[in-house]
Every structure is written in structure tokens, then in C-alpha cells.
Structure 1
């Protein structure tokens, strides 16, 4: 006799009964409920947090989960009570340009905040008992500094990376920066690039000796800090391991925008103009990877498709499927530097924003896409998971932050034609902060006008040009009112 499949509600009832009779611990009960697909399918907009005056490039929860910290193009840091929507504290970071990352140091009573930004500065904000804020400069990168990573459980130690390819180690007890390594290209394909422009850094929570960095080439580099000699006597330039999907090895057109480690030490990697991949530790290429893939051998690069997701040639060499990384498809990551993250008490799901202004959620195991949520008017860049409950925070080109909780009465279903939806925003709509930006975007618009691919299309060039000029004027006005620096920004990095 066939048994009827147990529904999510049925499982929940059984779990409650098991908890009440002592067969299921409170911790395991929380994990089972928090990782329930039923809750993920009931996620709905709970609240908008509105105070910033520019793109919100970074959001993160404190360890307790009651405070959300955010940073923006307006160069301000805001601490929110996300449940009530009230601002607990707002202060100017001291940066001269867009904030890209802001995090609260653990075990500091939420009074120690570190930031990095488009001006390359790494800064420390200390909050007094009376709510006064003192900011100080800790270090600097030559170029934008996109991300920082805190050593798990440490109130003092963190790492940063930047477009100069440099990885730095900071200890707040000394206030000094240690330059660990500058990441170099592996071969001559990127000879024009003196260093790999780093976009992301992450630390393995199960073994904080390992940290990963990635940026403007196809490789994620894994370093072991134990190999660094603090007297500077050793060469720390050689990673302990490299990670890359086999079909992207040797592909000079891709880069990496986001990294994340799971609680199980799995490594999540998000590629621009490509997909998201999940690597187990044993899927690495070793410390000396082969830099030419079977895909590129015997092929002219000009003949290869620019659409990596749909037309990349398969490897001609056999690949063990059990050792191939899990792939997550459907979103679009072309316009901006997007993060990627895990979701759920045991990292059961993978989450990402998209150029089409939506949030994508996949099952980690198997890569099945289960949710696509309409989020912003423009691009979604940041998705952060609450440390304890089934709550998500998202932000991007819009000036607000959105909080998502599982309060919907009905379970959501996937929309139709997910991959056919075009992005809602153009790069020039995000941030134009100098005449040089305006001229570059006008030139780009002119090239699109004369592109053969646009023959026969209805053109809105006049309207686009008007919006472009108005966008530049708005940003110029905002900068003048704020009295801040108006250094040129590449729109890709909002």
C-alpha cells in the first residue's frame, strides 16, 4: 500500500509534537522550521527602510540580529531597528566617496563599525555611550575597496581587498594594516592588468585560517594565513588552492563579483555574465592550475559566443560529474558588482539579486530555482540573511532597504518566462558624478544607436538622452547640497 506523501504542514505538526514530547530539541526544531521550503515560499515584503539619499551598497545584521547596518552613495552609515523601521543612529562615515561595505565588529556592544569605500579608504567608527561617533582612517587601497571580511568571533581582526589587487590584514588593537599579498594574473592574457582587481573576500567560518578572494579573472584564490610570516620574510603570493568551473578556465571575458562560505565550508562564487557555482573543498585545482582550457584550445576567441550562459562550448575532455560544482541559473549579473549569499539555518538555500530588479532563491542541493521575487525598481545587488530567523534584507540601486518575512497567506509560484525578462535599468541611470561619466555614457548611447543589432527596432534615443542628462543633473545637485567630493565613478560599481 502506497503511503501518502507528507505535506509541509503535516511535517510541521509532527515536528511540534516531537518537540513537545521531548523527541526533538528546541535547537533542532528551530533549524527544521527555519529551513522549511514552505516559509521561503511565503516570504513577502515586510517593511521598507527609507533614509538614505543614494544607492544602498551594503547591508548586514549584527550578531544578535536586532540591528541592521547600511552604507550608501550618500557616504552615511545608518543603524536600524529593522523590526520597527526606526533609525537608531545615522552618521557620516568620513569617506569621500560611495561606501561599499559596512560591518559591525562582534562582541563590541555594536559600537565598533568598519567601512571601506570607492575612495579606497578603510575606516573605523567608534560609538560612545552618549551616541557620539568618532571615525578614523586605518588604511588605504590604490583604487576602490569593495569588500571586507571579519575573522569569525573576533572583535579586532578583519581583512580588506581592493582594485589594486591588494589584500590587507587589520588589527584594531594596533590600528595598523599589514599588506599580505597582491594578486597577479596567472598568464599573459591579462598583460594589460598589473594586478587582479579584487571584488570579493570571504573567510571560512569553520576554519578561519582560510580566506578566499576573487575579482577580474576566472579564478577564486584560497589562501592559508598560517603560511604568512609576520616578519615579512616569506613569499605569501602563492595561494593554497584555486577554484574555477572547468569550462571557464582560460576564458578571459569573465570575472567574479561575489563570494560566500557556508557553515559547511562550501564556497559559493558568482560570475558576471555567467552563473553561480558551489564548490566543495576537494573541487580545487590545486596551487598551480592549468591556465588553458579545452574550450579555448584550437578556437579563435573572436568566434566564441559572448553569451556564456547559453552558448559556451562544452569541454572536450571528460569531466567527473560528481566533482563538478553545482550551478545556479536564471538571474542576470551584468550591470553591477553583485554579492551572493546563503539562506537558512543550515545554509539550505542560495540567494542573489539580479539586473532585472528581482531576488532569486535556489535550493542549494540540486540547484532548483524555487522563488523569484519582485524587489526594486532597478538592480538588486545585496541580499543578507538574518543570523537566526527566516528573514531577508535586500538593497541595490534604489535608495531604500527592503525587509522580507514569511508572512504571506499563500505560497508563491514561479513567474513565467523568467529568463526572458529584460533588465529594468541602464548603467547610466545609477550614478553619474562627473562630466567624464556623462561623456562616456553619451558615447556608449551613440554606439548603441548605430549598432547593426538595432536595425528595425523602435528607438527611444531622444528620451534616453534626456533621462541621461537629467540623471547627471540630479547627482550633481545632490553632491553640491551634501558638500562632498564628486570624484568620477564608473557606474558599474554602484
Structure 2
């Protein structure tokens, strides 16, 4: 399954640093060094609205899961809240507040109920905000360098933070005490993401790698290599099968189960998946934003497998093919005949024959 760029959004006049997509899936928010936050229709690529009035570049945006509220964090140490219905802006914190961060705000994350917001900052702290009361309730300390990224698990019980101190911390949201500390990266940990099932943490680093960790135990599962520069942004696909990672030079798509690189796209950080997983948003060239969609077309040269016969005949490989060659053939056929991709009348029968053949191969190998 390949991805094709369908829209190239223009309008920002400086680097685009951050994305957020509303849970409804049709509104994209982008924050930029041009001191604005823009809203876009994800389906059509059309510009909806631009929020002005910030004093510095925007490094973080997040939609509330339960209300028409958008928050942004900038290099002026300010968290602003934007009402999507009225377009009214309100400051959650500013330089005059004793509860404010004292340096740049790099990351924002809501709990699933939208009641609590976490913010990560260059001041080495994470602040917890009570949104209904518009107050800061707690400051988490322990990192010894800038907190680049924060993420909250889908069940709302765990917060994960990534820091320039080369560590990841896993905080229990109820007690806030004794965070588990994960080490292994040799450079800044610049980004973290949590899978939708809440089982896996992904971390991206200036060491050009992505590491996958088991959230409950902190065990390192695998390390993905292939980027040519620091990894600045990460996102899990909603189905949990893939992860997208980006640097300032490329965007890579990975299969989590096999830890294999699936595709490299001509984009850059940041990155975000739509809630249905069918749309991918990346940075582009010249302050632009790229919208990618899955390509479902089957080429004229598509392999037509047999519906019956020995497994190697159905998969179209030699009987003595290596396991790797068989796996490649199987994945190629899936891309062509999976019913979500191929809507022809015989796709379901083809897919059943392909899966049965591969199952026989696994039994014999």
C-alpha cells in the first residue's frame, strides 16, 4: 500500500513546527515560526482560518478531545487557548504568572477526557493544567535538560516524556511519583508517541534512531534505523500496525511487527495520522504542508494468483524460494488484493487463497 501526495498546502511564511488533527478527523491545525496557528480542511486541503496575535513562533498545538478548544504553546513561554466556534483567544499562562513555564514550550498533550493538559518545556519541567479551572496544579521535575515531547496514554493513566537529557520518563498520572526512567538513546530524545492500544511507546532521537518500548514494563522491543538525520516527529497509525517518523530530510513509514522500512516519502517533520489512518500529514518544502492518502489502485502489471494449488503456486514463487522472498511476495499480493484496497468482485476470494497459501508455507517452514 503506497502513499500519494494529494494536496500541497501553502500559506505559512516560515517553518511549520507542529500539527494536530481533531478527533472528528476533518480539521488540521498547524503551528509555525510565522507566529500563527492555521486551520485547514483535511479532506479538501482548503484553508479555514488563521489565528494571529502570538508574539513568537508556535512549537506545539493540541485539540481538546471533548470540546471545541485548541491550545498552542510558543517560544514566548505562553500557552494560548483558542475557541474554534467563537475564534476567541485566551491565555492559559503568560510571563506574569508564577505558575508559568520559564522557557520555551515544546509539547502539549490532553488526557482523553479533555480535563487535563500536560506541557513540556525547555525549562526541564512538565506542568499539569486543570482546564475547567484554568490553573496549573502540578509541576513534574526530574529531567536534567529540556523536555522536548510529552504524550498521554489512551486510558489517561500514564504520561510519557522525552528529554534532551537522553532519557524517557513514564509517569503514573494518579500518584505522579517514582517515574520509570528509560535509557538507551545516545542523543537527545526529541519525540515520543504511544500506540492507540496503550501498549507500545515509540521514541525518536537525535541519534537518528527510533526505539519501541513496552509501556507497562519499560522493556526495549526493537530499534529502527534508516534515517539520515535526527528524528523530530513520530506518529502511530490508528490500527497500531505502522509508525511514521520524520527528520528534516525525509519521512519513513515502518511496519511495527517486522520492524521493516515500508516506504520513504519526500516530506519532513512534523507528521500526523488522521484518526481513521487513511490520511497522513507531513511537512513539505518551502513552509508548505503535504497531505498524503493511501493509493488503492492496482497496476496493470499486478500478479494474479491461482485460487488453488500448492502454496508456492498461489503465491507465485519458486518452490525453493527463500523465506524472505516468500514474505516479499506475500506482502506484494496483500497490497494488491486486500479488500480495503482492491474493490473488485474477486478480491475477497483472492485474499483468502493468498492467506491460506501463506499459512501453509509457515506450517512447512
Q: Name the TM-score class by shorter chain.
A: 0.7 to 0.9
Determine which structure has greater relative contact order: mean sequence separation of CA pairs < 8 Å that are 6+ residues apart, divided by chain length: 1
Are 1:96 and 2:55 matched, yes or no? yes
Q: What's the CA shift string for 1:194-244, capped at 9, x where partnerless?
A: x321101011113x121011111222111112114xxxxxxx4x31x1222
- CA shift, 1:267, in A, is 0.6
Summarize deviations over 1:280-334 as a string: whole Å, max 9, x none.
13542xxxxxxxxxxxxxxxxxxxxxxxxxxxxxxxxxxxxxx542111111333
| Partner of residue 209, structure 1 | 157
Query: What's 1:407 paired with?
Result: 295
Partners of 2:87 and 2:213 in 1: CA distance: 44
Residue 354 of structure 1 is matched in structure 2 by 247
Q: 2:148 aligns with which of 195, 199, 204?
A: 199
* Partner-residue secondary structure (3-state), 1:74: coil
Deviation at 1:408, TM superposition (A): 6.4
SS at match of 1:96: coil
Of residues 259, 265, 278, the one that matches 1:390 is 278
Answering whether residue 74 of structure 2 is matched by residue 117 of structure 1, we say yes
**Which residue of structure 2 lines up, in the alignment, with residue 133 of structure 1?**
88
Q: Which has the higher helix share?
A: 1
Corresponding residue to 1:223 among 150, 165, 171:
171
Distance change >3 Å, CA 177–CA 199, structure 1 → 2: same
Q: 1:366 Cα shift? A: 2.1
Counterparts of 2:234 and 2:134, CA distance in 1: 30
Partner residue of 1:476?
none
> Does 2:115 match 1:182?
no
The answer to which structure has the higher strand fraction is 2
Output the CA distance in 2 between the equivalents of 1:148 and 1:127: 18
Could you say what the CA RMSD is over the residues aligned between the two structures, in angstroms? 2.0
Partner of 1:330: 226
* Kept after mapping to 1: 8 A contact 2:233/2:247: no
1:423-462 aligned within 5 A = none
Q: 1:280 aligns with which of 211, 214, 236?
A: 214
Deviation at 1:85, TM superposition (A): 2.1
Residue 182 (structure 2) aligns with: 243
Q: CA deviation at 1:180?
A: 2.3
Query: Would the aligned equivalents of 2:206 and 2:229 in 1 still touch at CA under 8 Å?
Result: yes
**CA shift in 2, pair 1:276/1:395, >3 Å:** same
Maintained 8 Å contact 1:283/1:325: no
Q: 1:47 to 1:282 in 2, by over 3 A?
A: same
Deviation at 1:272, TM superposition (A): 0.7
Q: Which runs of 5+ in 1 are unaligned?
A: 1-37, 185-194, 229-235, 285-322, 412-494
Whether contact under 8 Å (1:103, 1:114) holds in the other structure is yes
Q: 1:403 to 1:386 in 2, by over 3 A?
A: same
